[in-house]
Amino acid sequence: MRNDPLDRAILAWLAGLGASGADELAAACGISGALARARLRALVDDGACRAERLLHGAPPLYLLTRSGLRAAGRAELAVARVSAASAAHQLAVARVAAALHGGCEELHGERELRAWERAAGRPLASAEVGWARDGGVALHRPDLVVRAGDAWIAVEVELTVKAPRRLARIVRGWARSRLVDGVVYYAAPAALRAVRIAIGRESAQDAVVALALERAGELPPFARRVPSQARPSVSGPSLMTTRRD
């Protein structure tokens, strides 16, 4: 496995997101699609990466193996899994991440956040959505979390319509959160309508914005949220403080 900056960037991208198409990786790394595919093939041959073709007519998704995670310096992450049911969403998340990449100081995937929250023993950028069966707080993690300027923003990618009660709980949790400064939904048409209805019903317009999926990359300005401006939360220190210490 070549240890050059481009290979390291590819490994870091796949480690953070879990899976990505070649074109999305190319856009994030600022290279041509042909070069991205050539490097990915080499990483597959080296055993650092695997290609999964799960949807007819769709490009393959590339995922790191355990060896690839070690090469990326991310051995704490689990090997990513993707199924036919989740492939379209994973590809959409990668496309949104690529669109956001150039305008953010930091961009992290859900699996990174999960590992950090497990290590910290507390939520860092997740929404509280009620109570789990074990009596603890139930959390909903965003698809991405990004830092743009001084603001930490949770990013959700919605291709399908969630059940109204479930969606309302999630939007309500984001509206009450003190762990992020705002939330952006990038959604397909039917899902966009459902999210906007939930935002209105939960009076969450100051904290949650819903945009069409083709507007991925746009980040509305959010004011820094401090405890006096947010409703009570049991979540503890924010991701902003944790990541900067």
Convert the pLDDT of each residue in 198-230 to its tens digit: 999 999 999 999 999 999 999 998 877 655 444
pLDDT bracket for residue 1 (50, 70, 90):
low
Q: Given this model, what pLDDT does residue 2 score?
A: 60
Cα 234 from Cα 56, distance rounded (Å)? 45
* pLDDT the model gives residue 186: 98
Secondary structure tally for the chain: helices H, strands E: 9, 9
Which residues contact residue 37 at a Cβ distance below 8 angstroms, ignoring those fewer than 6 apart? 22
Q: Please list the residue range(s) of the chain that carry CATH number 1.10.10.10.
A: 5-82
Q: Which of helix, strand or coil describes residue 203? A: coil
- Cross-strand bridge partners of residue 108: 145
Q: What is the pLDDT of residue 58?
A: 84
Compute the average pLDDT of residues 164-175: 96
Phi, psi for residue 128 in degrees, rounded to 5: -85, 125
User: What's the predicted TM-score (pTM) here?
Assistant: 0.88
- Report the C-alpha gap between 245 and 229 in whole angstroms: 23
Structural contact between residues 27 and 98, judged by C-beta atoms closer than 8 angstroms: yes
- The pLDDT, as a whole number, for residue 208 is 97
Q: Convert the pLDDT of each residue in 130-153 to its tens digit.
A: 887 877 889 999 999 999 988 899
Which residue has better confidence, 74 or 234? Answer: 74
Cβ partners under 8 Å of residue 73, min gap 6:
none
Task: List, as one string, the DSSP characters of the chain.
Answer: ---SHHHHHHHHHHHHHS-B-HHHHHHHHT--HHHHHHHHHHHHHHTSEEEE--STTSPPEEEE-HHHHHHTT-TTSPPP---HHHHHHHHHHHHHHHHHHTT-SEEEEHHHHHHHHHHHTS-SS-EEEEE-TTSSEEEE--SEEEEETTEEEEEEEESSPPPHHHHHHHHHHHHH-SS-SEEEEEE-HHHHHHHHHHHHHTT-TTTEEEEEGGGTT-----PPP-GGGS---S--S-HHHHHH-
Mean of the per-residue pLDDT values of the chain? 89
What is the share, in percent, of the chain residues with pLDDT greater than 70?
Answer: 91
Q: Which residue has the higher pLDDT, 82 or 56?
A: 82
Q: What is the pLDDT of residue 103?
A: 87
Q: Determine the Cα–Cα distance for residues 104 and 144; give it in Å rounded to an integer.
A: 12
* Residue 192 reports pLDDT greater than 70: yes
Q: Is the pLDDT of residue 233 over 50?
A: no
Q: Hey, what CATH class is 5-82 in?
A: mainly alpha
DSSP3 helix / strand / coil % (the chain, rounded to 5): 45, 20, 35
**115: which residues sit within 8 A by CB, 6+ positions away?**
76, 77, 78
Task: Average the pLDDT over 4-22 and give the result.
Answer: 95
